[in-house]
Structure 1
Amino acid sequence: MRWEGNRESDNVEDRRDGGGGVPGFGGRSIGIGTIVVALLGGWALGINPLTILGLLSGGSPAQVQQAPARHPPADDKMARFVSTVLADTEDVWTDVFRQQGGTYQKPHLVLFRGATPTACGTGQSAMGPFYCPADRKVYIDLGFYEMLKNRLGAPGDFAQAYVIAHEVGHHVQNLLGISQKMDQARGRVSQADYNRLSVRLELQADCFAGVWANHAQQARQILEQGDVEEAMNAAAKIGDDALQRAGGGAVVPESFTHGTSAQRQHWFDTGLQSGSLQRCDTFSARAL
């Protein structure tokens, strides 16, 4: 992926020194790594998956008292990479929203280690990267990329960029009111039906990640040989069916919350090939 020398975002907060505020408890967080936690968290990191998944139990947004935000150091290459990818998503979505007659509101991205307070509750590294709609921030412990590469078998810088673009996709859903509709449905449908809605939400975020890649490539030619394959491989390795197999258990479609490997690849590719928000309407699609 061609990223060095491109613009870096100013909307990155570095909490890796252990600083932070008082955690609150509130709204649902949406993350690419939540199913990773449920299946691999205890094995890889010694954390009870049920404890971590409790963060997704819903509720109203909470206030978080947070220490002043700090920018990452200039000599931190991985932080620079994340800042550059975030900036690229800002440029793409600002343009896409403008074309649709709207105004894009940029999210913040928080780097942390271990645990950090969020308006959705206490975020933990074992959750993987996640987005909190209540404070409009993406959270990531950069150590997740080692798990992505070494434990899940999905190396590569564009695989890492796909992860960020997916979480920013959840921010786009939040701005479009899609996340709010999901929350409204929580108490009105069965758990199985809610899981099916969650799959559609996650696959749409994958599609939005593909839309970002399409526009970024057209504007800045960021893709190198093998980049798309890296993202498709990552999408495959974090499909619900693949993760359930990796966890040593049976594949239980009724429990899926993110979609199968094939579905995640399909919807990322749909966004990548079309570059169209309208083509990402997973909620109207008859087949996923």
Structure 2
Amino acid sequence: MKWEGNRESDNVEDRRSDGGGGGGFGGGRSIGLGTIAIALVASYFFGVSPSTVLSLLSGGPVSQPQSQQAPNRTAPAAEDRQTKFVRTVLADTEDVWTQIFRANGKTYPAPTLVLFSGATQTACGTGQTASGPFYCPGDRKVYIDLSFYQLMQQRFHVSGEFAQAYVIAHEVGHHVQNLMGIMDKVNSAERQMSKAQANAMSVRLELQADCLAGVWAFHANQARSILEQGDVEGALNAATAIGDDALQKQEQGYVVPDSFTHGTSAQRVRWFKQGVSSGEVKSCNTFEVKTL
């Protein structure tokens, strides 16, 4: 991925030296690409029960103790390569979505990207490393512990900077959904549904965010030629690795479709490809198609 030398965003809040805090989510729904993926490895890497993370995703009660110990680490420099990378990717999403919103007569208020280590306070409660990257609609911020990228490579054998950019673009996709009022409509509808129906609605929300990440990639590449050979394949590998079916097979040897909340590997690949090939937001309407 070609990104060095491009504009870096100022909408980044670096909390990595804050030390974090414990606790579980409360008072709002956070939307994350990696929540289920991290749930499966949290007990190994961080001592967090996978069932606890999955409970957080579904809005259920948290049975974990009120504090979690973050791994001992030294906070990276604010201007290291990885920090510059995420700042640049965020700036690229700002440029793309500002242009798209302007073309539709609207203003795009960009989200803030929060870098943290271990745990941090959000408008959706206490965010933890174990929940993976996530978007909190309550404060319109994207949260990420950059150690997630190490887990992508170590656990799922997914590497490459564009695959990492896809993670950020997916969470920004949730911000776009929030601005468009889609997230509120989904949350309202889910309150009237059974658990299986709400899960199915969540799948459509997540797949749309995958598609919106593809829309970003289309326009960013047109404007700045960011894509190199193998980049899209890397993002597709990431989408494949964190499909609900792939994760459930890896963890328990079988799949339970009614429990899916993010979509299968094939679905995530399909909708990202839909966005990156069309570049049109209207092509991402996962809520009106019969077959995902």
Please report the TM-score for the alignment, with normalisation by the length of structure 1: 0.91
CA drift of 1:48 comes to 1.4
| Distance of 1:119 and 1:198 partners within structure 2 | 20
Secondary structure, counterpart of 1:257 in structure 2: coil
Query: Deviation per CA, 1:58-97, whole angstroms, max 9, x where unpaired?
Result: 59xxxxxxxxxxxx85531101000000000000000000
Pairwise mapping of residues 135-284 of structure 1 onto structure 2 (< 5 A)? Answer: 135-284=139-288
Aligned equivalent of 2:53: 52
Aligned equivalent of 1:17: 17
Q: Give the residue type in structure 1 aligned to 2:209.
A: A
| Distance of 1:248 and 1:40 partners within structure 2 | 13
Q: Give the residue type in structure 2 aligned to 1:274.
A: S
Aligned equivalent of 2:117: 113
Secondary structure, counterpart of 1:262 in structure 2: helix
- Across the aligned residues of Structure 1 and Structure 2, the Cα RMSD in angstroms comes to 1.8
Query: Deviation per CA, 1:207-252, whole angstroms, max 9, x where unpaired?
Result: 0000000000000000011101100111100100111112133111
* Structure 2: tracts of 5 or more residues without a match: 61-75
Contact 1:40–1:247 (8 Å) recurs in 2:
no
Contact 2:20–2:117 (8 Å) recurs in 1:
no
Q: Provide closer, same or farther for how the CA distance between residues 84 and 281 of structure 1 changes in structure 2, counting only shifts above 3 A.
A: same
Secondary structure, counterpart of 1:51 in structure 2: helix
| Distance of 1:22 and 1:126 partners within structure 2 | 11
CA drift of 1:261 comes to 0.5
Contact 2:248–2:255 (8 Å) recurs in 1:
yes
Stretch moving more, 79-88 or 42-51 = 42-51
CA drift of 1:43 comes to 3.3
Q: Give the residue type in structure 2 aligned to 1:41.
A: A
Contact 2:30–2:124 (8 Å) recurs in 1:
yes
Aligned equivalent of 2:66: none
Q: Give the residue type in structure 2 aligned to 1:260.
A: T
Q: Provide closer, same or farther for how the CA distance between residues 20 and 243 of structure 1 changes in structure 2, counting only shifts above 3 A.
A: closer
Aligned equivalent of 1:64: none
Query: Deviation per CA, 1:7-49, whole angstroms, max 9, x where unpaired?
Result: 0000001000025689883110000011113333223432012
Aligned equivalent of 1:63: none
1:40 aligns with 2:44: no
Q: Give the residue type in structure 1 aligned to 2:175.
A: H
* Structure 1: tracts of 5 or more residues without a match: 60-71
CA drift of 1:186 comes to 2.5
Contact 1:55–1:121 (8 Å) recurs in 2:
no
Contact 1:111–1:142 (8 Å) recurs in 2:
yes
Aligned equivalent of 2:92: 88
Q: Give the residue type in structure 1 aligned to 2:27.
A: G
Secondary structure, counterpart of 2:266 in structure 1: helix
CA drift of 1:161 comes to 0.3
| Distance of 1:5 and 1:164 partners within structure 2 | 19
Q: Give the residue type in structure 2 aligned to 1:38.
A: A
Contact 2:22–2:128 (8 Å) recurs in 1:
no
Q: Provide closer, same or farther for how the CA distance between residues 57 and 18 of structure 1 changes in structure 2, counting only shifts above 3 A.
A: same
| Distance of 2:155 and 2:196 partners within structure 1 | 29
Secondary structure, counterpart of 1:122 in structure 2: strand
Contact 2:20–2:116 (8 Å) recurs in 1:
no
Aligned equivalent of 2:6: 6
| Distance of 2:235 and 2:22 partners within structure 1 | 36
Q: Provide closer, same or farther for how the CA distance between residues 249 and 46 of structure 1 changes in structure 2, counting only shifts above 3 A.
A: farther
